[in-house]
A and B are shown apart, each in its own frame.
Chain A
Amino acid sequence: MSLKDLISPFFVWQRAFEKPYTVGLKPIVERPGAPAYRGFHINMSDDCVGCGSCFTICQNHAIDMVKVDGLEAHGGDSGLRPRFDYGRCCWCGLCVDICTAGSLRMTNEYAWFTTNPDDFRFVAGMENKSWDGRTGGYHRHPDYHLFPPKRIEMEMLAPEESVASFTEVAKGYTEEQAKLEADRCVECGICVATCPAHMDVPDYIHSIRDGDYEKGLQLMYRTNPFPATCGRICTRRCESVCPVGIQGEPVAIRWLKRFIVDQVAEADYARILPNVEADTGKRIAIVGAGPGGLSAAYYLRLKGHAVEVFESQAQAGGMLRYGVPSYRLPDPALDKDIEHIRSLGVEIHFNHSIGRDTAFSDLLDNYDAVFVSTGLNVPSQMRIQGEDHPRVMDGLKLLDDVANGKDPQIGTSVAVIGGGNVAMDAARVSRRLGAEVTVLYRRRIEDMPADTEEIHEAQAEGCIFVTQAIPVEALNAAQSDQVTLKWGEAEMLQDPKGGRPRPVLQEERMHLDTFDTVVSAIGQGSNLDYIPTEISDQLQIKWGKFIPGDYQQMVLNKLFVGGDVANATADAISAIEDGHHAARGIHRFLDTGQRG
């Protein structure tokens, strides 16, 4: 050790008598954090949907999802909110980066004094904090995403190609595309509550990430025996609440479902999917081989019950077969679903009409339980003069003819009345049959009940949309094989009570247009004539629809109902859930004698 080393500490002492550089004035002036400082959290609770992605991504387990007073779980929002534990937070900001709703950010506040350590555990946005309302701090850069905001585009036939044939329009994802799309899913499961069948969406999407499509198929069949069908034509309410869709496009759940089914060969289904349990000796009759009836048949058969389905048509599938055109749902896809159900030993009596070939009361007498899912198959009337004109046809008949390979003889100019999915299908089918198509709808495009995708595709395929147009009368045209439609323009009248605006006919703005065919597609009703009045009088029926109790059970203990004829939503996935739920109710009823 040198002499310098030895005495150098003492030189420091000379500084003790100098004026210090730092100023010791109090109070110390607080300095704000840097503009993008990662300080205390703010969560815009109204925007947050409680998806829990912040909880999942937090590497320090500093976040809990907790129930909060005044917030209830409802479709699209779990009602839970993140609670932060600042004893564990490391201020990395991953929770802000992943936040699907964009509701979570960090302020540049960094000073917080309290004597109680438990205070540092708080629900951001639900407790008043001094930094509420601060604008500075860490925000996710709008161009920076942990998952891409745009979905993988589904390749579609070009409109000029699609309109020329009944080939399926959506081509399906490749494996690479499906994996990329599956990677956009944060697996929060918010969608599960909104899916009428409560499918295990995050789980089957995860199976795509793992490349385990057999597992994916098993997961789908837990809640839905029509995945090939729903993977194509589902109304996909799940996507409307997908949190990824809040700041971007929702995950393409429907296309991912289709992808899984397309990867598994039908021949492998028996090996992969559950088999029938031991015979129970119970017999169940099902009226209608649509999605509701066959879904009930599937789950009841799995439990070991003997199931017989009575179908008035020559083929199974109901509205899926006769109402949905093959360019949206090709027969092989529908058959894949139906054939698996039949392969379990579900017996279908075709061309067998209840009320005509077998009395409804016989079903109640001869079977242990009856499930009715007869759908809506009677077209609603337009209630206009000349509705019975020979050139006025209903949309269901048009679709039915085409599905059966018959030429509906619509000519080359067609007007389609209505704005629902049947109207869109009728219009697009007419285009494929070579007609010029005009769609008349009494409200605006945004009021149309049809799927927006179908509306866009119909427009792309050259259907002309005339909105706020009310049909008034069908008249004889100059040529006997044509019809002249008298229609009037409508003004939208705001509802003072805040309901949806009502179209009002403008008598002075009438038009006369001549078409080869006018197709009416303004809705459908049920036909319950097959139920004798002494039975129907005991049942709760309103506007032609059954009002079932718990587990889809009617007041007659043996009778369960479901599908379009018993629900308000009238789509395939709701019918499938009705069938599944009724099957659970029937099984429970047969097992224990309990009502729902």
Chain B
Amino acid sequence: MNSMLERLSKEFRVTDITERHPGLTTLTADKDVAETLLRELRDREGYTHLNFMTAIDYIERGVFTLVYMLHNYATKSTLSVHVNIDRVNAEMTSIHTLWAQAWTYQRELRELWGINFPGSPRVEEDFCLEGWEEIPPMRREFDTVEYCERTFTSREGRGTVNPREHMAEIIFPNRGGDK
């Protein structure tokens, strides 16, 4: 394992190699070497299974982190490959040629995060949000509360009290800053 990670860090410039717990290691790879690295892991290192793909929106840093979770059945170890891509015009090489099921994840990533995977089969079709007209909902700038308020009605009998205003009314009426 360690010799493999050493080799990867040399040959593929992978960084941030962290053992999260026994059997799960995470590492970060550059976007341009990611596909080659994944192929190497599948064909030479025994990580034959793609558990899943997902993405994390680091809006503060202006990136999406794509997560490729791979499993090696022989060593029972899991490797989580992280790849940072620009949030603007987010696009990534499709890996459906490596694992056929990846096209489903990529279709989901396109719908929920707005990340494109050119060449991935049926990537532009609706996945689970039929008729969605908003920005992709897993993007952090998507205001879920605002969308909920606009789209759904509340049951009768709902109603909330603002703690600060309630305390002002009970504890210090006529005090504090002018209204």
* A interface with B by C-beta (< 8 Å): 50-52, 55, 58-61, 63-67, 72-75, 78-80, 85, 87-88, 117-118, 121, 188-190, 192-193, 197-200, 202, 219, 222-223, 577, 581, 584
> What's the Cα separation between A584 and B168 when bound, in Å?
17
Contacts of A61 in B (CB 8 A): 145, 148-149, 154
Residue pair B172, A64 in contact (C-beta under 8 Å): no
In the bound complex, CA of A564 to CA of B159 (Å): 42
* Total contacting residues, chain B, CB less than 8 A: 26
Closest to A192 in B: B164
Residues of B within 8 A of A50 (CB): 163
A568 shortest CB reach to chain B, Å: 17
Contact B175 A581 (CB under 8 A): yes
* Complex Cα spacing A72 to B170, Å: 9
Contact assessment for B163 and A223 in the assembled complex, using a CB-CB cutoff below 8 Å: no
| A188 pairs with B163, CB closer than 8 A | yes
12 intermolecular pairs with C-beta atoms under 8 Å apart:
A59-B145, A59-B148, A64-B158, A73-B167, A73-B170, A121-B155, A190-B164, A192-B164, A193-B168, A222-B176, A222-B178, A223-B176
- Chain B residues packing against A (C-beta within 8 Å): 144-145, 148-149, 152, 154-155, 157-164, 166-168, 170-172, 174-178
With a cutoff of 8 Å between Cβ atoms, the chain A residues found around residue B171 in the complex are 73-75, 193
Is there an interface contact between A85 and B174, defined as CB atoms closer than 8 Å?
Answer: no
Which residues does chain A contribute within 8 Å of B149, judged by CB atoms?
Answer: 61
How far in angstroms is the closest Cβ of chain A from B112? 15
Residues of chain A within 8 A of B145, CB atoms compared: 58-61
Residues of A within 8 A of B152 (CB): 88
Contacts of B170 in A (CB 8 A): 72-73, 79
Q: Which residue from chain B places its CB closest to the CB of A117 in the assembled complex?
A: B155
- Chain A, residue nearest B174 (CB): A584
Q: Which of A63, A79, A117, A223 contacts B177 (CB 8 A)?
A: A223
Asked if A80 contacts B144 (CB within 8 A), the reply is: no
CB within 8 Å for A188 and B175 given contacts A117-B155, A118-B155: no
Which one of B148, B154, B167 has the greatest number of beta carbons of chain A within 10 Å?
Answer: B167
Min distance, Cβ A199 to any Cβ of chain B, angstroms: 8
Closest to B149 in A: A61
Contact B166 A78 (CB under 8 A): yes
Q: Across the interface, which residues of B come within 8 angstroms of A88, CB to CB? A: 148, 152, 154
Q: Are A60 and B155 in contact (CB under 8 A)?
A: no
Query: In the complex the two chains form, is B167's CB within 8 Å of A189's CB?
Result: yes
Q: How far does the Cβ of A12 sit from chain B's closest Cβ, in whole Å?
A: 27
A59 CA to B142 CA, complexed, in Å = 11
**Chain A residues, Cβ within 8 Å of B163:** 50-52, 65, 78, 80, 188-190
Partner of B144, one of A60, A188, A189, A190: A60
Residues of B with C-beta under 8 A to A219: 177
In angstroms, how far is the closest chain A Cβ from the Cβ of B19? 17
> Contact check: which of B154, B157, B167, B174 meets A190 at CB < 8 Å?
B167
- Residue of B154, B161, B164 most packed against chain A (CB within 10 A): B164
Give chain B residues whose Cβ lies under 8 Å from the Cβ of A188.
163-164
- Determine the residue in chain A with the shortest Cβ distance to B172: A198
Distance from B167 Cβ to chain A, minimum over Cβ atoms (Å): 4
Q: How many angstroms from the CA of A135 to the CA of B107 in the assembled complex?
A: 40
Flag if B155 contacts A87 (CB, 8 Å). yes
The CA-CA distance from A61 to B151 in the complex, in Å, is 12
Bound-complex Cα distance A88 to B161 (A)? 18
Complex Cα–Cα for A491 and B110 (A): 74
Kindly state the separation between the CA atoms of A426 and B142 in the bound complex, as whole angstroms: 57
Option from B158, B159, B162, B172 in Cβ contact (under 8 Å) with A52: B162
A580 to chain B, nearest CB (A): 8
- Contact of B159 with A85 in the complex, beta carbons under 8 Å: no
Chain A min CB distance to B56 (Å): 16
Closest to B147 in A: A59
Q: Which residue on A lies nearest to B164, using beta carbons?
A: A189
Nearest CB in chain B: distance from A111 CB, A: 21
Residues of A within 8 A of B166 (CB): 67, 73, 78-80
The answer to whether A66 touches B161, judged by C-beta atoms less than 8 angstroms apart, is yes
Residues of A within 8 A of B168 (CB): 192-193, 198
Assess the A65–B158 pair: CB atoms within 8 A. Answer: no
Q: How far is the CA of A52 from the CA of B165 in the complex (A)?
A: 12
Whether B167 contacts A222 by the Cβ 8 Å rule is: no
Q: Are A65 and B160 in contact (CB under 8 A)?
A: yes
Determine the residue in chain A with the shortest Cβ distance to B144. A59
Closest to A219 in B: B177
Residues of B within 8 Å of A202, CB to CB, are 164
Identify which of B148, B154, B177 contacts A222 (C-beta below 8 A).
B177
Cβ of B164 and Cβ of A66 under 8 Å apart? no
CB pair A121–B157 under 8 Å, yes or no, is yes
Knowing A60-B148, A73-B166, A85-B155, say if A65 contacts B161 (CB, 8 Å): yes
Please provide the 7 A-B residue pairs with the shortest distance between their CB atoms, ordered closest to farther. Answer: A189-B164, A222-B177, A198-B176, A78-B163, A64-B160, A59-B144, A193-B167
| Complex CA–CA separation, A496 to B105 (angstroms) | 71
